[in-house]
Amino acid sequence: MEVGAVAAMRYVKDGIKAARLVMQHTEHTLLVGEKASEFAISMGLPGPANLSSPESMEKWVKWKDSRCQPNFRKNVLPENSCGPYRPTNYLGDPDETCFSAGQMLASNSGLLRVGRHSHDTISMAVIDRMGHIAVGTSTNGATFKIPGRVGDGPIAGSSAYAVDEVGACCATGDGDIMMRFLPCYQVVESMRLGMEPKLAAKDAMARIARKFPNFLGAVVALNRKGEHAGACHGWTFKYSVRSPAMKDVEVFTVLP
């Protein structure tokens, strides 16, 4: 149950190393923003550095030229522009804060959907020879996200979770949706109750799909014996496995 995470960290390339430093050298769980960058650099990681690439700058320029579309904002004016934005009087009462489920789903109908090429999550689970289990997730987040956005990557139980006596889980996909369900915590707890990895993974995906049928995501479940399985929704997902008994990495394909 040792956890370390960083979020919204800029100017430092090695996010997963920074997260490990938080775990090993602080009593905190999560550091964010500029202070996370300062901490990482103070602990010896390279920085501050310009992490923009020619490819990312080209994407950003094209996005600006396209009036900042696609865009993750909703219920704002003006539409189809780069702002500045103001909230719309969506329900006719500017102080109204209670949305019904139907109204929320209607307001989400035009949202940018997270796709296979709009995020870059890498998540890994490892069992050592003593039976200890560790997981880690690293990501730049969703393309064209609103500055300051934190997805499910640094949220324990969402993108990754592990318990030595049970197993582990890794996840990727639409983090803004998936983090509301803590799917990896669900997977591990389902395995604790006796579910095999395949059923635990499918159950976690089904819980999200019942509320958000158009979401895109995947999980990989691994029990303490090394048995593994994946489940996904909205795409065909692949994950890789390597063990001492294998001559090379094996890639597994999971159908939605």
% of the chain with per-residue pLDDT over 90: 83
Predicted confidence (pLDDT) per residue in 32-54, tens digit = 999 999 999 999 999 999 999 99
Q: What is the average per-residue pLDDT within 201-221?
A: 97
Model confidence at 106: pLDDT above 80: no
Residues 131, 207 within the same domain = yes
User: What is the residue-averaged pLDDT of the chain?
Assistant: 90
Predicted confidence (pLDDT) per residue in 117-136, tens digit = 556 799 999 999 999 999 99
Classify residue 112: in a domain, yes or no: no
The DSSP line for 48-94 is: S-----HHHHHHHHHHHHTTT-S----SEESSSS----EE--TTS-T
pLDDT bracket for residue 115 (50, 70, 90): low
Classify residue 117: in a domain, yes or no: no
Residues 101, 197 within the same domain = no
Residues 172, 69 within the same domain = no
pLDDT for 104 equals 42
Residues 165, 246 within the same domain = yes
Residues 83, 145 within the same domain = no
- The 10 Å Cβ neighbour count of residue 188 is 26
Q: Is 139 a catalytic residue?
A: no
Q: What is the average per-residue pLDDT within 239-243?
A: 95
Residues 166, 225 within the same domain = yes
Indicate the number of domains in the chain: 3
Residues 93, 138 within the same domain = no
Predicted confidence (pLDDT) per residue in 143-198, tens digit = 899 999 999 999 999 999 999 999 999 999 999 999 999 999 999 999 999 999 99
Residues 74, 171 within the same domain = no
pLDDT for 120 equals 77
Tokens of 231: 């489940």
Classify residue 103: in a domain, yes or no: yes
Classify residue 238: in a domain, yes or no: yes
Classify residue 94: in a domain, yes or no: yes
pTM of the predicted protein model: 0.87
Catalytically annotated residue among 121, 137, 139, 143:
121
Classify residue 235: in a domain, yes or no: yes
Does an H or E element contain 203, and which? helix 197-211
Residues 67, 175 within the same domain = no
pLDDT for 109 equals 37
pLDDT bracket for residue 141 (50, 70, 90): confident
Residues 83, 164 within the same domain = no
Q: Are 160 and 121 spatial neighbours (Cβ–Cβ below 8 Å)? A: no
pLDDT bracket for residue 240 (50, 70, 90): very high
Residues 72, 195 within the same domain = no
Residue 90 backbone dihedrals phi, psi, to 5 degrees: -65, -40
Instruction: List the single range of 10-19, 47-56, 97-106, 241-250 with lowest mean pLDDT.
Output: 97-106
Does an H or E element contain 237, and which? strand 237-241
pLDDT for 150 equals 95
Residue 196 belongs to domain with CATH number: 3.60.20.30
pLDDT bracket for residue 103 (50, 70, 90): very low
**Structural domain boundaries, residue 82:** 56-107
Model confidence at 98: pLDDT above 60: no
Residues 243, 137 within the same domain = yes
